[in-house]
Structure 1
Amino acid sequence: MERVKTFIQERLLPEEAEKLYQQGAKFEEIMMMYGCALREVQTKLEVLNDELSVRYNRNPIEFIKTRVKKPLSIVNKLQRRGLEVSIESMVENLNDVAGIRVICYFLDDIYDVARWLSSQDDIRLLQVKDYIKNPKPNGYRSLHLIVEVPVFFSKGRQMMRVEVQIRTIAMDFWASLEHQLSYKKDVPHSEEIGAELKECAEVISHTDQRMQEIREKIGIFTELT
């Protein structure tokens, strides 16, 4: 509670700070719940990867990253959308408070992981945005899922939303650099750098596709259904 109060007082605007501070304990509880939802999804993905490793000598997932949005990022996003800054507004309107990034080796792995995860009977798939088949104008590529997962607490089951981003190693490398350009202020020649990054995104996409084709020629993995 004291940690939340200090952060809010130091980093947020007075009006928004007061709103969140008044519900400090509730805010910390909901953040805990989002963290638990992340662990649920991460465990499902790790179990899947372990099973495929033993049964088929296949590991589609290279690594997994998780994060819960920081309070300042939550406030900024609500403000950008013209929404009320409150816990209720956050829960109702933001799908990416809890985020998990899944890094795969090959393009087919991305869609396989998405299919296996969303087919589990306790997972509810709410939304799919395919930025691989339909890249963003800046060249960004990734597959985004919004899922709901049940988390069991002492007071009962709660369905929690989690954003799942699935991409290749090369896509993740590109996205990390583009993120730095987007959030770093006053970068000299930012437009030229952005154009270079978009060109690199096309090269990476072509490389990912070629690596997929080479894998298929080698016949490394047995197709799973």
Structure 2
Amino acid sequence: MDSDALVRAYRETLPEYETLRDAVVRHVTELLTRQGLNIHHVTGRVKRPLSLADKLRRKPGRYDTLTDVTDLVGVRVITYFADDVDVVARLMEAHHVVDWDNSMDKSRMHDPDRFGYMGVHYVLRAEPDLVPALAGTRYEVQIRSILQHAWAEIEHDLGYKNPQAVPREVRRRFYRLAGLLEMADEEFMVLHRLSGDYAATLPARLKEGPDSVFIDAQSMTYLLGVPPIHGMDLRLSGILKIPLLTGWADPERPQRIASLLHYAGVHSVGLLQKELARHTVEIERFGAEVMRRLPQLWAPIGGLRPGISVVQYVLLRACANASLDPGRVVEVLDLSGSETVEEMAGTVRAVYAEVVGKAGG
């Protein structure tokens, strides 16, 4: 089939290729999700008819049918970390039929002084259940880290597709920048591993010396599910007869609570534990009354968020310390709704005066 006929055939079947693109993106995304991989994004594209025509002109006689063209449909998987590229690659190999003659690991093909378009490039065969009319059709899957992707996009935009295309005057700067990006990719991987190690060792370090454990998002994520915070949350839930939303999905909450504790001058887990033990009764009495008077804090979501006892401790401390402001707590947690920050802070101060002040008197 001549080039013009191939392009016409492609135009006629383009909707089916677009359907295949969507099906492959969905399939790959579901596969990565089932494996619990945190991926930056998965995208797909179909080759434009004009691009196909240009390809056929540049490589005359190479393609007899559309099935000979392996990149009519392409999927790109962008990972956060370079070591995840290999994880995704092994997953693709395990769940797909790979056309090894047309696949390559470009990270192993570059010279040592070249960062460039690294990553893994597979040509896979479409399973019959994706788009029956295109069963067996080959498509591309490119897997890169986010920094490899950024470099490749910049190279493409500048038109530097190979070292010879780079003017000698700027080639050295390209190599310097390539080295910096490669080092950054490696450092991000190290940080990722250190973060995982930190989380894994938290329980042991808390048991051995809580005063030496800093309050941050990771330590708070762990603390929200264990005593004493979880127990105090449950007691507040029981007092108010309001469910505690133990499965509440709010990835920003641990960081926000950690920020509040730092604002209140509590920087270590050991100090937090001591403060909660010292003020348990006050926190529960004060917190229960605050939540009764401000139902807008829990009613829209149908329950109390994890860490509610810590929030009440910080509000209590803010009311007792003239240098702190309950309104700051409301702002950090983004709690204001129908009422202004000032109105909610005023309600909190009134509860403090009535509940804690009266008890102290």
- After TM superposition, the score normalised by the length of structure 2 is 0.46
- Offset at 1:130? 1.1
Q: Which moved more, 1:95-104 or 1:38-47?
A: 38-47
Q: 1:213 matched to which residue of 2?
A: 190
Which of 76, 81, 92 matches 1:106? 81
Q: 2:124 matched to which residue of 1?
A: 147
Closer, same or farther: CA 109–138 of 1 in aligned 2, 3 Å: closer
Q: 2:52 matched to which residue of 1?
A: 74
Closer, same or farther: CA 63–193 of 1 in aligned 2, 3 Å: farther
Separation (CA, whole Å) in 1 of partners of 2:139 and 2:6: 22
Q: 2:92 matched to which residue of 1?
A: 117
- The 5 Å alignment of 1:2-151 reads 17=4, 19=5, 24=8, 26-53=9-36, 58-59=37-38, 61-83=39-61, 88-92=64-68, 94-120=69-95, 123-127=96-100, 128-135=103-110, 139-151=116-128
Q: Which moved more, 1:204-213 or 1:145-154?
A: 145-154
Letter in 2 for 1:76: D
Structure 2: gaps (5+ residues): 201-361
Q: Retained in 2: the 8 A contact 1:144–1:164? A: yes
Q: Retained in 1: the 8 A contact 2:6–2:65? A: no
CA deviation vs aligned residue, 1:190-223 (integer Å, no higher than 9, x gap): 554454334322221222122212322333699x
Q: 2:136 matched to which residue of 1?
A: 159
Q: Retained in 1: the 8 A contact 2:116–2:151? A: no
Separation (CA, whole Å) in 1 of partners of 2:160 and 2:88: 30
Closer, same or farther: CA 198–161 of 1 in aligned 2, 3 Å: farther
Separation (CA, whole Å) in 1 of partners of 2:72 and 2:134: 19
Closer, same or farther: CA 155–40 of 1 in aligned 2, 3 Å: closer
Which of 149, 156, 172 matches 2:149? 172
Letter in 2 for 1:37: L
Which one has the largest radius of gyration? 2
- Offset at 1:157? 6.4
Helix, strand or coil at the partner of 2:135 = strand
- Offset at 1:16? 5.1
Closer, same or farther: CA 200–50 of 1 in aligned 2, 3 Å: same
CA deviation vs aligned residue, 1:21-48 (integer Å, no higher than 9, x gap): 7xx3x32343333323322321122113
Higher strand share: 1
Q: Which moved more, 1:125-134 or 1:94-103?
A: 125-134
Higher helix share: 2
- After TM superposition, the score normalised by the length of structure 1 is 0.70
